[in-house]
Structure 1
Amino acid sequence: MKFLKTPQSRVAKMLTGASSAVLMLMAGAVSAEAAANCIKGDRKAPYTIGWANIYSVPTWMKQTEATIVDEVERLKKDGLVKDLMVTDAQGNAQTQIQHIQSMIDANVDAIIVIAGSSSALDRVITDACEKGIAVMNFDSLVDTDNLTAKVNTDSHEWGERAAQWLVDKLDGKGKIIIMNGPAGVSVSDGRRQGAQPVLDANKGIEIITETNTEYNAAPAQEAMTSLLFANPDIDGVLSLGGAISAGAVMAFDRQGRELVPVTGENARQFLELWKEKGMQGWATMQPNWLGAFSVYAAVQALEGKDVAKTIKVPIPVIDDSNIQSYLDRADQFPADGYIYSDYDRALFDKLLGQ
Structure 2
Amino acid sequence: MTISRRKLLLASSAASAAAAFSRAAIAAGPTLAVKDTYKVGFAQTESNNPWLLAQTNSMKAEAEARGWQLVYTDAAGSAAKQVSDVNSMIAQGVDLIFLAPREEIPLIPAIKSAKNVGIPVILLDRNVDQSLAIAGDDYVTFIGSDFIEEGRRVAEWLVANNNGKTKIIEQEGTAGSSPANDRKFGFDTTIAEHPDFEIVASQTGDFARDTGRQVAETLLQANPDANVIYAHNDEMTIGAISAIEAAGKVAGKDVMILSIDGGREIIQLIIDGKVAACCECNPRFGPTAFDTAVAFAQGADIPVKIINPDNFYDISNAAELIDTAY
Quick one: distance in 2 between partners of 1:40 and 1:233?
A: 56
Match of 1:134 in 2: 120
Match of 2:140 in 1: 148
Preserved CA contact (<8 Å) 1:38 1:135:
no
Match of 1:290 in 2: 285
- 1:181 matches 2:167: no
SS of alignment partner, residue 143 of structure 2: strand
Larger deviation, residues 171-180 vs 55-64: 171-180
- 1:68-123 deviations in whole A, cap 9, x for unaligned? 010001111xxxx2x11111222221221121112122221110111022122223
Read off the aligned partner of 1:245 and give its amino acid letter. Answer: T
- 1:272 matches 2:268: yes
TM alignment of 1:1-354, pairs within 5 A: 38-40=29-31, 42=33, 44-76=35-67, 81=68, 83-143=69-129, 144-145=133-134, 146-170=138-162, 174-258=166-250, 259=253, 260-265=255-260, 266-276=262-272, 278-279=273-274, 281-328=276-323, 339-340=325-326
SS of alignment partner, residue 91 of structure 1: coil
- 1:228-281 deviations in whole A, cap 9, x for unaligned? 2332212212222232222222322233213322211313332222222x2461
SS of alignment partner, residue 274 of structure 1: helix
Query: Unpaired segments of 5 or more residues in structure 2?
Result: 1-23
**TM-fit CA distance, 1:323:** 0.4
Q: Which has the larger radius of gyration?
A: 1
- Work out the percentage of aligned pairs sharing the same amino acid: 27
Query: Unpaired segments of 5 or more residues in structure 1?
Result: 1-31, 330-338, 341-354
- 1:1-51 deviations in whole A, cap 9, x for unaligned? xxxxxxxxxxxxxxxxxxxxxxxxxxxxxxx99xx9644365633210101
Read off the aligned partner of 1:122 and give its amino acid letter. Answer: I
Quick one: distance in 2 between partners of 1:184 and 1:193?
A: 13
Q: Where in structure 1 do 4 or more consecutive aligned residues deviate above 4 Å?
A: none
Preserved CA contact (<8 Å) 1:37 1:147:
no
Read off the aligned partner of 1:274 and give its amino acid letter. Answer: I
Preserved CA contact (<8 Å) 1:112 1:295:
no
Preserved CA contact (<8 Å) 2:49 2:235:
no
Specify whether residues 185 and 314 from structure 1 end up closer, same or farther in structure 2 by C-alpha distance, changes over 3 A only.
Answer: same
SS of alignment partner, residue 112 of structure 2: helix
Quick one: distance in 2 between partners of 1:57 and 1:235?
A: 29
